[in-house]
């Protein structure tokens, strides 16, 4: 196991990172010298900075939506009495994990397309003159990314809810708390760790997603993972891809740390 991870995980990562410090060479692709100019290329260019901001904003919206939609689902799953029905519903929740991202995106392209069902539905409900454009937009990417990663938040919140001792809620209601108070003061504070860990997984996955932006965004919505893919596969600029990857990795680490810290602050604050 150590050998496997060392040889096929640590070594390639280190090699990739080392490329970040080499210049791009049109002939050999990767030059010999050591340089920092790859980072300068991206850090002092408005285009890439916007892409970093856009990646972060999309990932944050995906994370928030996954939790906001995932919480009721986890709650509902827990309250379902029949174990048969629950098995089926769990199967539905896990569905996105069993579908290839390509296939899911493909399906959503049909749904979100300009003559798609959803666009027409929204147009008829909101009385918009023109059908809303979803394909090739940030909103479309958010919708499909939420679809593909929501399972993680549901599972994590479900596990947290399951772990709460039911006698705590009972004790609170015996002492005169109504359902809303029980939820707000007992269940919700105790479920925060599950919410945060689910959110962290979804956030980290969204920050690295390039398949959905590529297919749903039609390559028009520039996010960092997509640019890394383009640099690698289409431009063969591996040093550039390596530098971008390193920057994205660091940004993700900082932001996940921030979310985790905020989460535990919230949990402590709620507990008081």
Q: Which residues contact other proteins by CB under 8 A?
A: 1, 4-5, 8-9, 11-13, 15-16, 19, 69, 72-73, 75-77, 87, 89-111, 116-117, 147, 150, 155-156, 158-159, 162-163, 204-205, 207-208, 210-211, 215, 225, 228-229, 232-233, 238, 241-242, 245, 248-249, 252
| CB of 223 closer than 8 Å to CB of 213 | yes
Closest to other proteins by CB, 91 vs 128, is 91
CB 15, min distance to other proteins, A: 5
Closest to other proteins by CB, 120 vs 269, is 120
Closest to other proteins by CB, 218 vs 269, is 218
Output phi, psi for 97, to 5 deg: -75, -20
CB 111, min distance to other proteins, A: 6
Measured CA to CA, the distance from residue 185 to residue 14 in angstroms comes to 47
DSSP secondary structure letter of residue 239: H
Burial of residue 266, with CB atoms counted within 10 A of its CB: 0-12 exposed, 13-18 middle, 19 or more buried:
middle
Measured CA to CA, the distance from residue 111 to residue 172 in angstroms comes to 46
Closest to other proteins by CB, 40 vs 218, is 218
Measured CA to CA, the distance from residue 158 to residue 180 in angstroms comes to 19
Closest to other proteins by CB, 110 vs 269, is 110
CB 272, min distance to other proteins, A: 27
CB 172, min distance to other proteins, A: 19
CB 85, min distance to other proteins, A: 11
- Number of other CB atoms surrounding residue 50 within 10 Å: 11
Place of tokens 């398949």: 211
Q: Take residue 182 and report the two structure tokens written for it.
A: 């029980």
Measured CA to CA, the distance from residue 20 to residue 23 in angstroms comes to 8
Closest to other proteins by CB, 172 vs 242, is 242
CB 167, min distance to other proteins, A: 19
């Amino acid at each position: 196991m150590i050998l496997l991870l060392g040889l096929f995980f640590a070594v390639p990562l280190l090699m990739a990172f080392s490329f970040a410090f080499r210049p791009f060479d049109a002939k050999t692709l990767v030059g010999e010298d050591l340089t920092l100019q790859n980072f300068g290329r991206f850090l002092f260019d408005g285009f890439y900075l916007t892409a970093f901001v856009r990646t972060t904003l999309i990932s944050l919206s995906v994370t928030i939506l996954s939790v906001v939609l995932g919480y009721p689902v986890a709650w509902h799953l827990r309250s379902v009495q029949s174990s048969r029905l629950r098995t089926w519903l769990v199967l539905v929740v896990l569905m996105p994990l069993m579908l290839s991202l390509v296939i899911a995106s493909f399906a959503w392209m049909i749904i979100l397309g300009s003559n798609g069902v959803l666009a027409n539905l929204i147009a008829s409900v909101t009385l918009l003159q023109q059908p809303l454009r979803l394909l090739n937009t940030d909103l479309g990417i958010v919708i499909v990314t939420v679809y593909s990663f929501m399972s993680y938040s549901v599972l994590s919140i479900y596990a947290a809810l399951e772990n709460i001792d039911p006698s705590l809620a009972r004790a609170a209601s015996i002492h005169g708390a109504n359902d809303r108070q029980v939820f707000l003061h007992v269940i919700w504070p105790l479920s925060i760790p599950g919410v945060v860990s689910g959110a962290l997984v979804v956030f980290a996955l969204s920050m690295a997603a390039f398949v959905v932006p590529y297919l749903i965004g039609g390559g028009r919505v520039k996010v960092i993972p997509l640019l890394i893919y383009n640099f690698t596969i289409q431009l063969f600029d591996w040093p550039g891809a390596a530098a971008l990857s390193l920057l994205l990795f660091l940004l993700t680490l900082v932001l996940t740390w921030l979310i985790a810290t905020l989460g535990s602050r919230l949990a402590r604050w709620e507990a008081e």
